[in-house]
Amino acid sequence: MATNHYVKNSELREEIIRCKKNDVLSEEAINMFIILAKKYSNKYQYMYEEDREDCISFAVMDCYLYWRGYDPERSQNAFAYYTQIVKNGFAKGWRRLYGNLPKSRKISLSTNNIYNI
């Protein structure tokens, strides 16, 4: 069983195998996805806490949508598979919240172009 702070690969793998056998995602598996997403969210700083929560929601939703894609016969590492889905969910959420922001933009704040951002 996953603790509040950590998800073990073996536990996640076993839970997903059980879920695939029953063809229903269990509450325990969803809780593991939430823990993965919350841990991943700590890698970044957010201007608003709501942005972090939104990105976590996008990541968990992606795990929910794509949980059947994990093949335990191809890979023993369910943790890596779902962590990648979480990463992609965060990127998708960030793009949806903020769009594709340009890397740099110069804005003139004065008429003689002395101050630029």
Q: What's the rounded Cα separation, in Å, for the pair 70 and 76?
A: 10
Q: What are phi and psi of 63, to 5 degrees?
A: -60, -40
Contact between 55 and 65 (Cβ < 8 Å): no
Handedness of CA 39, 45, 48, 54 (dihedral sign): negative
Token digits for 72?
A: 């335990």
27-76 tens-digit pLDDT: 999 999 999 999 999 988 877 899 999 999 999 999 999 999 999 999 99
35-44 tens-digit pLDDT: 999 999 998 8
